[in-house]
Structure 1
Amino acid sequence: MFARFENLTDPFAETELDMPPKGFVAFCWYYTKPIWRILVLVSVLGAMIAVLEVTIFTFLGDLVNWLSEQDRAFFWENNWPSLLGMAAVLLVVYPIVEAAWQLLFHQGLMGTYPMSIRWRVHRYLLRQSISFYQDDFAGRIANKLMQTALAVREVVTRIADILVYVLVYFTAAVLVVSSANPIFAAPFLCWVIAYVLVLRVFVPKLRKTSKKQADARSFMTGHVVDAYTNISTVKLFSHASREEDYAKGSMAAFLATVLRQMRLVTVLNISLTAINMLLLTSVGGLSIVLWQNEVVTTGDVAIAVALVLRLQGMSQWILWEVSGLFENVGTVQDGITTISRARDVSDVENASAITVSKGEIQFQSVCFHYGKTGGVIDDLSLTIKPGEKIGLIGRSGAGKSTMVNLLLRFYDLESGKILIDGQEISNVLQDGLRENIGVVTQDTSLLHRSILDNVAYGRPEVSREDVKAALLKAHAFEFVQELSDPSGRIGLDAHVGERGVKLSGGQRQRIAIARVLLKNAPILILDEATSALDSEVESAIQDSLFDLMKGKTVIAIAHRLSTISAMDRLIVMDKGRIIEEGSHDELLKQNGLYAQLWARQSGGFLDPSP
């Protein structure tokens, strides 16, 4: 039975990946559309429960009148239809309606609804541009995802269920007491006016404070996660105390928002208690006066007092629901600023799949400056022939890595074109483009998964034997066999820790090389691919790298010039422009920048010139 209600919606359904709306209502509706029918049913059942509860109170008032006025000997004979009907309501109707509400609300909504939001937001964020993640904490982004999903659920369910229940309940209560005497409704109406005024004063303040609190919580989480993610750097510089101060500042800012919120809550509760006591006093006094004048019966008094006590109990609950509603409104609005951002780089409409048959790469008058003025890449043109292996050389900041990032389309060009086999990369699907390019970078990052998962990441369908063969070629299988993790997994199944922290830099680099070996893409980029390897290991895998490069178009970046001097052509860059190109010997004869760099590396780093 539970599973049937839990499966009313599929939280992992494939949905559109468009940018979520930036408007609050539109944003909530965007993620609520899949479950709107369940919400309507929950609202209807909540309204039915409210009417049934007021009906029960009304019956209890009638029962008081019957007990005080009728002959005991004929009580059952006179009232058995009404008593039997109320017993059916209490024992059958109310439990069935309540059970249906509970199943729809808790099994149909509370778990699957926020999970559906998390799934859709996560899918969208995975396709965000690189710059999106470079400008924010990963921990803060993850925190926004988790907070916003829960906040949307709370906002929507409170409006669709709780507020509907309260409005129906109060309306029915006023109608019941006014049916005894219209004067009876006056205290209730005054109470609701006072209650709304109290909420009107305090809830907006709570809303503003809650929004600041949500943002402060995200920053606090981001600071803490930043320290944990870079714990090796913290340890190397012995800066635990500095990180304490860094986190303390964000924690203190978060605590300040909490304290402001608690002050508002205290004053709000005091105000609520005051108007509740006024309601009880006024209804009690009015009941006595009307009863003395024989305007109302003891049953009417019992109904009125019972409803007052019920409303008093509900008032605290309503207060927290309403304040919670606006707190979550603030959290959703804060989440929208992070989630509802357009992608800096997106596939054009009707983007085609790329076909890489030769591997020719053309840079045509390419300009790119990261949004700055001057520098980086200026009017760069370069053609790399199919199967050609080129080395990119230049000082730091010359634009070598930027060229690679532009080829991978991590950024869009400001002007110019990049073509692969005559296909402009801005007109093809990004995923297809990157599937055809293998990359080994200097800063190798591994997923906190098994060695097997990491090596097979580019081709998850391959066998364990294929993974083992790639590791052997990358001279990594020997140390992989000796790996283990705290869960007892060993070898290929051992997990490597966040970003591969449990492995040395050289080990991570060899795993990355094995991953690209297995991917076997027609275009290969080596960005300081051997920088983390010692000379002995680098020499050992040179043959594997040359095997990897066979039949591929290769772009290699290295500051250690000896590793790329054997390339077909060397491209020397400076300030975003190509200033020299040719073979190793040709560039030495030119006696330009390459010759200077080569002389310093081959002759030592100390410049003997005066």
Structure 2
Amino acid sequence: MIFRLFESLINPFREAPAHPPPRRIIGFYVHYLRQVWPVMLALMVVGFFAALIEVMLFSFLGRLIDLVQETPASDFFEVHSGELVWMAVVALLIRPITFGLHDLLTHQALAPNLTNLIRWQNHRYLLRQSLAFFQSDFSGRIAQRVMQTGPSLRESAVQVVDALWHVVIYAGSALFLFIQADIRLAIPLLGWIVGYIFVLCFFVPRVRACSAAASEARSKVMGRVVDGYTNILTLKLFAHSRDEEGYAREAMGDLVNRFRQQSRLVSSMDITITCMNGVLIAGTTALALWLWSQGSISAGAIALATGLVIRINNMSEWIMWVVNGIFENVGTVQDGMRTTVQPITLTDRPGAQALQVPRGGVEFDGVRFAYGEGKQVFDGLDLTVRPGERIGLVGPSGAGKSTLMNVLLRLYDVQGGVIRVDGQNIAEVTQDSLREQIGVVTQDTALLHRSIRENLLYGRPDATEAEIAEVLRKAKADVFVPELRDSEGRVGLDAQVGERGVKLSGGQRQRIAIARVLLKNAPILVLDEATSALDSEVEAAIQESLEVLMERKTVIAIAHRLSTIARMDRLVVMDHGRIVEAGTHAELVEQGGLYARLWAHQTGGFVGVD
């Protein structure tokens, strides 16, 4: 019951603030910690009393020695019973409760929940990033940064709270108690404090810089390793195992060097602090004994001083590792920030409304577009697709056909001109509503590493089993889905398809993708080489299903296999980002232009491009 109470103090799936995380490290920490400020405040209060109780016990030890010396044994318990009972209550009740609260706040409230809250909000934020963002980095490195930022931020924040109170309470209380006994007793501790601060100021910034570099190197290793695993088939087909080993070894070697640099600094700091601690213990003990010999302090003061400096010695080594851990975690957070604070470049406009598609007309009006700083793909492209019209886009590779689909889906924003759907500028509607109205089957079909059913329900989450069975039948996928079985013994619709659907053949993946779009039943349909992975027999069988799919829809189909689009209402021929021909199949063949040449070069259903 007590565990559940503390576990419920933080909602690990709390909605993220509307604005992106700050780009500065302090602001980044505040962005997440202020969402759990009551728990952090409670941890600070509990940490204060935990450190204070520890010092009280040391202070009582010194007083106990003085009381033993000053009071006859026969009267000791009678005279000091109240004080003894109070310290017993502190040691047996208050201290366990305080440290128990500290553990519950740290391990039940913060450790699982704050960590997951940061991961959850970062993940949700990154899902809103543009396609270009994910194409510019390793998927493994992005995932690594999302996963490592949460625990590193939480751990460093908790360590700061704990270290802060231990330093303030122990050092401050020790100075107070030493001065109270004899001001000269505080001289070694004051010198140690100055030296300790200097050592931290010298080493900590260097450790932080090395930690950030090591974290970056670690993310690089993760990115390269995951990239190799993701493309394992390519590695094996090209027999480049040694090259791949060298590619990963280079990144791992850099990581080893970064860690060596960090370890050298940590070892140097450790040796320096250890030497200083030896001087503190010897100096304080020697001074205490001399002052006692002069009658300036009691034997209890010797026990108090010696006990406290030994405790400070242990604490200083702990704090050294904590500070090192703090800045190592801060370095990791800084590395994660390189991904998680990147601005979202493709956003909905304020007040954007949902797209309404009563008819399905599409218009490209003076569209200009280029990828980044690259060559212009479109420079004033005009194209109108009437509601319910089925057009085929034809042209050699690099003509701009797939780019046209990318800007229609608003995976990229155009630099000029307007794209309209039923008269609505797609830049002024929400991205989700736009893509909900467009069904897409791409050439390179990648399925989610989930079950067949879950992949199909991406088309329409509320679809019934009967509707799923119907689209499988129409897509000719019902012939193989019941026979599927994965390594865990799941069969049929429950079988897992593997990462990107690798457990299925190309044709099977394509038929699942077609079934998914059938289930979505969007008014606008985009077919980007939709049957390219199918053999001729299966393609012929599925053409009827595609005809059903295209009924009462606006269709834009891209194909190099011209037989799949020859029966479209209109064919649009593109070359170097321009529309060079348009008409029916028969008209274009008769014209003897680019389309006629592509048709003439077709062998076995495929197009050879000069």
Report the counterpart of residue 229 of structure 1 in structure 2.
230
3-state SS in 1 of match to 2:580: strand
Report the counterpart of residue 500 of structure 1 in structure 2.
501
Contact 2:441–2:528 under 8 Å retained in 1 = yes
State how far apart, in whole Å, the 2-side matches of 1:169 and 1:44 are: 16
State how far apart, in whole Å, the 1-side matches of 2:604 and 2:536 are: 18
Report the counterpart of residue 73 of structure 1 in structure 2.
74
The alpha-carbon distance between structure 1 residues 382 and 310, as it changes in their structure 2 partners (threshold 3 A), is: same
Q: Superposition pairs for residues 274-285 of structure 1, below 5 Å? A: 274-285=275-286
Instruction: Tell me the amino acid that sits aligned with residue 5 of structure 1.
Output: F
Displacement of 1:407 after TM fit? 0.3
Displacement of 1:162 after TM fit? 2.7
State how far apart, in whole Å, the 2-side matches of 1:605 and 1:548 are: 24
Q: Deviations over 1:147-202 (max 9, x none)?
A: 11112112222223332332222211211121111111111111111111111111
Stretch moving more, 416-425 or 256-265: 256-265
Displacement of 1:267 after TM fit? 1.4
Q: Deviations over 1:497-550 (max 9, x none)?
A: 000011111110111001001110000000000000000000011000010000
Instruction: Tell me the amino acid that sits aligned with residue 27 of structure 2.
Output: A
Q: Over aligned residue pairs, what C-alpha RMSD do you find?
A: 1.4
Contact 2:12–2:117 under 8 Å retained in 1 = yes
State how far apart, in whole Å, the 1-side matches of 2:64 and 2:606 are: 101
The alpha-carbon distance between structure 1 residues 289 and 532, as it changes in their structure 2 partners (threshold 3 A), is: same
Stretch moving more, 37-46 or 98-107: 98-107
State how far apart, in whole Å, the 2-side matches of 1:173 and 1:551 are: 84
Displacement of 1:18 after TM fit? 2.8
Report the counterpart of residue 558 of structure 1 in structure 2.
559
Displacement of 1:284 after TM fit? 1.1
Instruction: Tell me the amino acid that sits aligned with residue 244 of structure 1.
Output: E
Displacement of 1:604 after TM fit? 9.1
Stretch moving more, 94-103 or 506-515: 94-103
Report the counterpart of residue 290 of structure 1 in structure 2.
291
Q: Superposition pairs for residues 352-391 of structure 1, below 5 Å? A: 352-372=353-373, 374-391=375-392
Instruction: Tell me the amino acid that sits aligned with residue 442 of structure 1.
Output: Q
3-state SS in 2 of match to 1:525: strand
2:42 is the counterpart of 1:41: yes
2:442 is the counterpart of 1:429: no
Displacement of 1:566 after TM fit? 0.5
Report the counterpart of residue 538 of structure 1 in structure 2.
539
Q: Deviations over 1:426-470 (max 9, x none)?
A: 000000100110000000000000000001112111122211211
Q: Which runs of 5+ in 1 are unaligned?
A: none
Report the counterpart of residue 29 of structure 2 in structure 1.
28
The alpha-carbon distance between structure 1 residues 314 and 39, as it changes in their structure 2 partners (threshold 3 A), is: same
Report the counterpart of residue 142 of structure 2 in structure 1.
141
3-state SS in 2 of match to 1:478: coil
Q: Which runs of 5+ in 2 are unaligned?
A: none
Contact 2:391–2:556 under 8 Å retained in 1 = yes
Report the counterpart of residue 309 of structure 1 in structure 2.
310
Report the counterpart of residue 351 of structure 2 in structure 1.
350
Displacement of 1:241 after TM fit? 1.6
State how far apart, in whole Å, the 2-side matches of 1:67 and 1:470 are: 89
2:517 is the counterpart of 1:516: yes
Q: Superposition pairs for residues 579-598 of structure 1, below 5 Å? A: 579-598=580-599
State how far apart, in whole Å, the 1-side matches of 2:200 and 2:533 are: 62
Contact 1:43–1:165 under 8 Å retained in 2 = no
Report the counterpart of residue 263 of structure 1 in structure 2.
264
Stretch moving more, 95-104 or 529-538: 95-104
Report the counterpart of residue 600 of structure 1 in structure 2.
601
Displacement of 1:272 after TM fit? 1.2
Stretch moving more, 407-416 or 156-165: 156-165
Contact 1:46–1:162 under 8 Å retained in 2 = no
Report the counterpart of residue 486 of structure 1 in structure 2.
487
Q: Deviations over 1:311-350 (max 9, x none)?
A: 1111111001111111112111221121111112100001
3-state SS in 1 of match to 2:527: strand
Aligned length: 608
State how far apart, in whole Å, the 2-side matches of 1:243 and 1:477 are: 40
The alpha-carbon distance between structure 1 residues 605 and 229, as it changes in their structure 2 partners (threshold 3 A), is: closer
State how far apart, in whole Å, the 1-side matches of 2:363 and 2:551 are: 20
Contact 1:47–1:169 under 8 Å retained in 2 = no
Contact 1:368–1:377 under 8 Å retained in 2 = yes
State how far apart, in whole Å, the 2-side matches of 1:311 and 1:458 are: 63
Amino-acid identity (%) = 50
Stretch moving more, 368-377 or 456-465: 368-377
Contact 1:234–1:240 under 8 Å retained in 2 = yes
Report the counterpart of residue 18 of structure 1 in structure 2.
19
State how far apart, in whole Å, the 2-side matches of 1:280 and 1:435 are: 72
Report the counterpart of residue 172 of structure 2 in structure 1.
171
3-state SS in 2 of match to 1:418: strand
Report the counterpart of residue 200 of structure 2 in structure 1.
199
Report the counterpart of residue 191 of structure 2 in structure 1.
190
Report the counterpart of residue 467 of structure 2 in structure 1.
466
Instruction: Tell me the amino acid that sits aligned with residue 464 of structure 2.
Output: S
State how far apart, in whole Å, the 2-side matches of 1:13 and 1:332 are: 20
Instruction: Tell me the amino acid that sits aligned with residue 26 of structure 2.
Output: V
Q: Deviations over 1:10-68 (max 9, x none)?
A: 11122334321111111111111221111011011111111111111111101101112
2:481 is the counterpart of 1:449: no
State how far apart, in whole Å, the 1-side matches of 2:557 and 2:390 are: 8
Report the counterpart of residue 123 of structure 2 in structure 1.
122
Stretch moving more, 329-338 or 281-290: 329-338
State how far apart, in whole Å, the 2-side matches of 1:89 and 1:339 are: 46
Displacement of 1:603 after TM fit? 9.0
State how far apart, in whole Å, the 1-side matches of 2:444 and 2:22 are: 36
Displacement of 1:606 after TM fit? 11
Report the counterpart of residue 180 of structure 1 in structure 2.
181
State how far apart, in whole Å, the 2-side matches of 1:421 and 1:165 are: 67
Stretch moving more, 328-337 or 154-163: 154-163
State how far apart, in whole Å, the 1-side matches of 2:322 and 2:70 are: 42
3-state SS in 2 of match to 1:114: helix
State how far apart, in whole Å, the 2-side matches of 1:387 and 1:605 are: 28
Displacement of 1:228 after TM fit? 0.4
Report the counterpart of residue 60 of structure 1 in structure 2.
61
